Amino acid sequence: MRILITGAAGFLGSHLCDRLLADRHAVIGMDNFITGSPDNLAHLMGNPDFAFYRHDVSNYIFIPGRVDAVLHFASPASPNPASPFSFSNLPIPTMKAGALGTHNCLGVCHARGARFLLASTSEIYGDPLEHPQKETYWGHTDPVGPRSMYDEAKRFAEALTMAYHRFHGVDTRIVRIFNTYGARMRLDDGRVVPNFLQQALRGEPLTVYGDGSQTRSFCYVDDLVEGIVRLLESDYHEPVNIGNPVETTIREFAETINRIVGNQAGIVFKSEHRLGDDPQRRQPDIGRAQSILKWEPKVSLEEGLARTIPYFKQKMGLA
């Protein structure tokens, strides 16, 4: 297939480029570099099966030649308002990528008869009232709250995807991505994995906000990419959660990182600075992915962190 990936220079987009090229597809990358980095694609320049367009997906997309699938991964995605790369500091680009970008991608698919895969998110569940979250759960988001630029953009993108599927017969997929980590995460977007890893590699205490009892579920990027490829190759149109159901408290997570890195500096607890409705718990129910895609994560947190650390060391000048 000849596959367009928006957000190709981002963390997940660049891993998808690598995987789909390895699977013998031709890949067209697209990115505007608002949050993505050319460094993530540098190794693909010169690859005859890879092309790249520097383009903002919220503007009309024209790709010469065949397009068999579009994977829409372009969006700011960090929830930390302390980072200039967070969706809360990029509200208009975030909403344009979610609405206009999804609209443009679906337009390409409708015109070319191409398959569409939307990168949605566990954020559409908001601050969930059900645990773990099944795909049938409607979610709990504040339409005018501090995370609404991201949550409502992704909910809109899902609804638009279903509208194109039901009304125009476009062959669509929706993946709801839970927390993922691995090489090529931005070091400076304020998420807990890069924050902890950098502190640990510097030999500093890890900063935990609140008492550390809030939980997250972390999926290693190779597992996530495998799930996305299986979904793309399936014929399933309803949303599918892809993420790691192993729930860990932030405190346990910090301890694991310190152990693997060999950091003796421990943890410091700071008073909570939640972003408005930052969820206390988030955990995927992956029953649908298990039954339909025969997928489940394979990489343990220890193994995944061990594979991720060399990237951080290199970026920090420690390698």
Q: Total residues at the site for a copy of itself (CB under 8 A)? A: 37
The answer to the question of residue 191 lying near a copy of itself (CB under 8 A) is: no
Q: Does 231 bind a copy of itself (CB under 8 A)?
A: no
Asked whether position 163 contacts a copy of itself by CB under 8 A, the answer is yes
Closest CB 240 distance from a copy of itself, rounded Å: 11
Question: Which residue in the list 53, 125, 137, 150 is annotated as catalytic?
Answer: 150
For the bound state, the minimum distance from the C-beta of residue 24 to a copy of itself, rounded and expressed in Å, comes to 32
- Annotate the chain with three-state secondary structure: CEEEEECCCCHHHHHHHHHHHHCCCEEEEEECCCCCCHHHHHHHCCCCCEEEEECCCCCCCCCCCCCCEEEECCCCCECCCCCCCECCCCHHHHHHHHHHHHHHHHHHHHHHCCEEEEEEEHHHHECCCCCCECCCCCCECCCCCCCHHHHHHHHHHHHHHHHHHHHHCCCEEEEEECCEECCCCCCCCCCHHHHHHHHHHCCCCEEEECCCCCEEECEEHHHHHHHHHHHHHCCCCCEEEECCCCEEEHHHHHHHHHHHHCCCCCEEEECCCCCCCCCCCCCECCHHHHHHHCCCCCCCHHHHHHHHHHHHHHHCCCC
- Which is nearer to a copy of itself, 152 or 226 (by Cβ)? 152
Active site residue 181: no
Report the residue from 238, 272, 302, 303 that binds a copy of itself according to the rule CB under 8 A. 238
Question: Are 132 and 245 in contact, with CB atoms under 8 Å apart?
Answer: yes
Nearer to a copy of itself, 102 or 263 (CB): 102
- Comparing CB distances to a copy of itself, the nearer of 26 and 153 is 153
- Distance of CA 83 to CAs 89, 122, 145, 275, 314, Å? 8, 20, 18, 12, 22
- Token reading at 251: 């405190």
Chosen residue from 55, 72, 96, 184 binding a copy of itself by CB under 8 A:
96
**Neighbouring C-alpha atoms within 13 Å toward the C-beta of 223:** 28
Q: Which stretch binds a copy of itself (CB under 8 A): 11-19, 88-96, 184-192, 217-225?
A: 88-96
Q: How far is the CB of 166 from a copy of itself (least distance, A)?
A: 7
Choices 22-30, 65-73, 90-98, 242-250; region in contact with a copy of itself by CB under 8 A: 90-98
x-marked contacts with a copy of itself along 245-284 as a string, rule CB under 8 A:
----------------------------------------
Nearer to a copy of itself, 101 or 304 (CB): 101
195 binds a copy of itself (CB under 8 A): no
Between 119 and 158, how does the x/- string for binding to a copy of itself read (CB under 8 A)? -----x-x-----------xxxxxxxx--xx-xxx-xx-x
Q: Provide the annotated active-site residues.
A: 150
Residues at the contact surface with a copy of itself, assessed by CB under 8 A = 91-92, 95-96, 98-100, 103, 124, 126, 138-145, 148-149, 151-153, 155-156, 158-160, 162-164, 166-168, 174, 238-239
